[in-house]
Amino acid sequence: MISLIGIFGLCAIAWLFSENRDPKYFPWRVVMLGLLFQFAIGFVVFVLPQLIPQVRDLLIGLGSFLNLVFEAADAGARFVFGRNLVPFPGQDTFFLSPLPPGTDSCTADSAGQVVPGFCGIRLGYIYAFRALPAIIFVSGLVALLYRLGVIQGLVRLFAALFHRSMHLSGAESLSGVTNIFLGIEAAIVIKPYLPRMTRSELCAVLACCFGTATSATLPAYVGLLQPIFPNVSVHLIAASIMAIPACFLLSKILVPETAQPSADWKAKPVVTESAWIDRPDRSTFVTEPVAEPMDTTIDTTTVDLPDATIPEISIRQPTPTEAAIEGAIEGVKIAAAIVAGLIMVLGLTYFVVQLANWLATLPNPVGGWFRLVSLPNILGALSLPFTVLTGVSLRWEELWQCSLLLGRRLLETAIVPYQSVTVSVISGSNTFSDRAVLLLSYALSGFAHLAYWGIVVGGVFALLPWRRKEVIGLCWKALLAGALATYMIACVAGFFDGIFGTSTLNLLGKS
């Protein structure tokens, strides 16, 4: 019951932070249908798999098919960087490190002695060689699909569904659904529609970036939680799908639509894709979008020009090959912007954390105060009201530990909290109950953290350079909407777990 009340409590919190709290702008239709979609998906995940096992197999198969996009990107990156930096699926790359002097065994986090006298250190997932090539590949693929008319068809399809039901535009609907599969690359999918988007539409697109977990990160999450949650893959896929309507309804509350949506199903996209200018003497490639209307004032001053033959200029659509290559080049620019934002945000985060740790080492009373009011405790206290609304537990100790984990996500991403949950359960500390594990798997599934904020800002800066100031403000609102969305889907999971509480072990796959 607490989880059900928490859903409406989260909507109220979003309304308190809304840009316009005028009741006539409250998105009643989006909120009601968004909640209906979440409960429908929750029913499919929590109830139908127990009745129809094929439903679970269908969800797992869908996630495996979508990973093909990233495998294709890895194939191209592997040719450029080599299989040591981009290993084949199912393989690990090691580098050899001599055994420490005076010891005959390797550390626990290594792969052991792969060669006598040497420990195998896993190279791991290197973001620059794995994620950034995926952005370049997806950018080129989307440009190709756009040139072939596939993207426009998808926009019309989702527009017909969401425009008639939730009154959302086709472009923002397509971006939201694509976030399940791609992440920030989803903004590239609707790049031709971005310049005309209203503040509310753009906030909805960004909120979906923060509130969902992509198919690229799901394998990492599954690997961390599977020892204690065998059925976690089904629930993480469901969490990503449920987060889409949650992000839409919360973003529309935070930034209500007060203007006519410009990226609706009838609107034509802004021609930002590249065009070739044919001239008799040379060909010029035009790649920059027109941010402002051109000055069409005609100067009637008479100018005597020498007799000359002026070549005729015509603009034609690029061929599919040209579109794909130019899209990949645009992807390089986006990747560079993401790297810049990521380095800056993570660097500042590290600086703040180390400053807080240094203040805790000062003599009392200053040091004692900072040891008590530490950064993890502050983030845990800020997360506590939202954690309570999920109904994760009625025990204070468990409730506080869950709140600490959800607070840590803001600075440490979801990887570290997921790992902490698994270690705690395996060690037998009884800190987290089965219900807590289930709800935490939903609440931590999104990208509502500062590292991804840097990625999103960098990527959108590259796509909308003339709206940078507006994007900064909207990204903070979208981060809040994405975080609230993860709490909301945890509430939905808690609601169904409350109804079928005796089947929690079956939901986790433990029995």
The half-sphere exposure of 471 on its side-chain side, counting CA atoms within 13 A, is 21
Task: Say yes or no to pLDDT of 276 above 70.
Answer: no
**pLDDT band at residue 159, thresholds of 50, 70 and 90?**
low
pLDDT at 181: 59
Across 270-285, average pLDDT: 39
**pLDDT band at residue 62, thresholds of 50, 70 and 90?**
low
Q: How many CB atoms lie within 10 A of CB 395?
A: 13
**pLDDT band at residue 302, thresholds of 50, 70 and 90?**
very low
CA torsion sign for 253, 254, 258, 260 is negative
Span of 200-209, 277-286, 397-406 with lowest mean pLDDT: 277-286
Q: Which helix (H) or strand (E) covers residue 316, if one does?
A: strand 314-316
Separation between Cα atoms, residue 83 and residue 85, nearest integer Å: 5
Mean pLDDT is highest, among 20-29, 40-49, 298-307, 413-422, for 20-29
pLDDT at 289: 43
How does DSSP classify residue 337?
Answer: H
Separation between Cα atoms, residue 454 and residue 343, nearest integer Å: 8
pLDDT at 401: 92
**Amino acid letter, residue 238:** A
pLDDT at 294: 40
Q: Which helix (H) or strand (E) covers residue 315, if one does?
A: strand 314-316
Separation between Cα atoms, residue 144 and residue 324, nearest integer Å: 5
pLDDT at 305: 44
**Amino acid letter, residue 35:** L
The domain locations on the chain are: 94-122
Asked if 409 and 390 count as a contact pair (C-beta separation under 8 A), the reply is no
Nearest to 220 by CA among 461, 61, 444, 474: 444
pLDDT at 303: 46
How much is the mean pLDDT over the chain?
Answer: 77
SS3 91: coil
**pLDDT band at residue 219, thresholds of 50, 70 and 90?**
low
Q: Could you give the angle at the alpha carbon of 225 between the alpha carbons of 120 and 88, nearest 5°?
A: 45
The half-sphere exposure of 445 on its side-chain side, counting CA atoms within 13 A, is 37
- The beta strands (E) that lie in 30-127 are given as 94-98, 118-122
Nearest to 66 by CA among 169, 150, 177, 140: 177
Q: Which two tokens stand for residue 393?
A: 């537990």
Separation between Cα atoms, residue 446 and residue 244, nearest integer Å: 11
Specify the higher pLDDT residue, 460 or 158: 460
How does DSSP classify residue 317?
Answer: P
**pLDDT band at residue 413, thresholds of 50, 70 and 90?**
confident
Mean pLDDT is highest, among 49-58, 293-302, 460-469, for 460-469
**pLDDT band at residue 261, thresholds of 50, 70 and 90?**
low
Nearest to 356 by CA among 345, 341, 340, 367: 367
Cis ω for the linkage preceding 365 (within 30 of 0):
yes
Task: Say yes or no to pLDDT of 32 above 90.
Answer: yes
10 Å CB burial of residue 72 (0-12, 13-18, 19+) is middle
Q: Which two tokens stand for residue 50?
A: 């127990």
Separation between Cα atoms, residue 331 and residue 341, nearest integer Å: 15
Across 60-89, average pLDDT: 78
pLDDT at 313: 42
**pLDDT band at residue 310, thresholds of 50, 70 and 90?**
very low
Q: Which two tokens stand for residue 341?
A: 């934002």
pTM: 0.72
Asked if 207 and 199 count as a contact pair (C-beta separation under 8 A), the reply is no
Separation between Cα atoms, residue 35 and residue 489, nearest integer Å: 10
The half-sphere exposure of 220 on its side-chain side, counting CA atoms within 13 A, is 16
Span of 95-104, 173-182, 307-316, 331-340 with lowest mean pLDDT: 307-316
For 275-293, the DSSP string reads EEEE-SS-EEEE-----S-
Across 67-79, average pLDDT: 82
Task: Say yes or no to pLDDT of 126 above 70.
Answer: yes
pLDDT at 158: 66
Separation between Cα atoms, residue 492 and residue 485, nearest integer Å: 11
Task: Say yes or no to pLDDT of 215 above 80.
Answer: no
SS3 119: strand
Q: What are phi and psi of 246, to 5 degrees?
A: -65, -45
Tokens 């009373």 locate to 365
Nearest to 460 by CA among 447, 475, 482, 448: 475
Span of 54-63, 89-98, 142-151, 440-449 with lowest mean pLDDT: 54-63
How does pLDDT run across 1-11, given as a tens digit for each residue? 788 999 999 99
**pLDDT band at residue 510, thresholds of 50, 70 and 90?**
low
Task: Say yes or no to pLDDT of 335 above 80.
Answer: no
Task: Work out the percent of the chain whose per-residue pLDDT is above 70.
Answer: 79
Across 364-384, average pLDDT: 84
Asked if 263 and 201 count as a contact pair (C-beta separation under 8 A), the reply is yes
Task: Compute, in degrees rounded to 10, the torsion defined by CA atoms 279, 285, 286, 288.
Answer: -160
pLDDT at 196: 82
Q: What are phi and psi of 316, to 5 degrees?
A: -125, 160
How does pLDDT run across 167-197, given as a tens digit for each residue? 787 778 777 777 765 666 677 777 778 888 8
Task: Say yes or no to pLDDT of 406 above 90.
Answer: yes
Task: Say yes or no to pLDDT of 100 above 70.
Answer: yes
Across 364-370, average pLDDT: 82
List helix spans (H) across 101-230: 127-147, 150-165, 170-178, 185-189, 199-211, 218-225
Asked if 445 and 414 count as a contact pair (C-beta separation under 8 A), the reply is yes
Asked if 128 and 150 count as a contact pair (C-beta separation under 8 A), the reply is no
Asked if 200 and 255 count as a contact pair (C-beta separation under 8 A), the reply is yes
Across 115-122, average pLDDT: 76
Across 367-388, average pLDDT: 86
pLDDT at 322: 84
**pLDDT band at residue 307, thresholds of 50, 70 and 90?**
very low
